[in-house]
Amino acid sequence: MKALKFLVGVIATETVAGVGLGVSSERIRDTLGEQYVADRRKKSLRLDYGLLEFGLYADVCETISIQVHRLFGGTQGLVPEVLEDAFSGFSRSIRFESLCNEVERTEIYTLAEVVKQQGYRCYRVGNSSVIIYVVDEVASDSDHFSRGDVWSVVISRRG
């Protein structure tokens, strides 16, 4: 699955399409284009590209979030053009077990559960700035997600 390999690459490099923490909003726009929603609050700026969200403070990227759960209904309009190939043929979700196996196969990183919050389990990728959020509880009337689906992958200076 291309999307799974994409996420493993993001975890290994802590970048998305060559964009990582510490870059400016201009660099993000130059790489991913102008199709985003901006949310500004004082010195904070959030650039929302659908699948991707970038959190900036004083025009420096502090967080990158890959919002995997948004792809449940399909990729149309959610995946920046530069990443379309990685998500072509994407199914409904990515299973944490599959991602975990691929990450640990690299023998560079290990995963450790760091916290459980209502509805989710959070795993830190050892020796990195990456946290993986995994669905742990599903509403009884939901047909969207299953326990063990990856909700998001976050790269953050805040750890």
Q: What's the CA gap between 4 and 30, in Å, rounded?
A: 25
Which distant-in-sequence residues (6+ apart) come within 8 Å of 156 by Cβ?
A: 21, 62, 63, 64, 129, 131
E strands, the chain, are 15-16, 19-20, 37-41, 44-48, 52-57, 60-66, 111-117, 120-125, 130-135, 150-156
Q: Which residues pair with 15 in a beta bridge?
A: 20
- pTM across the whole model: 0.90
**pLDDT tens digits for range 122-132:** 999 988 899 99
159 pLDDT above the threshold of 70: no
Note whether 55 and 61 are within 8 A (CB).
Answer: yes
Say which DSSP state 136 is in: -
Q: What's the CA gap between 159 and 131, in Å, rounded?
A: 8
**pLDDT tens digits for range 10-66:** 999 999 999 999 999 999 999 999 999 999 999 999 999 999 999 999 999 999 999
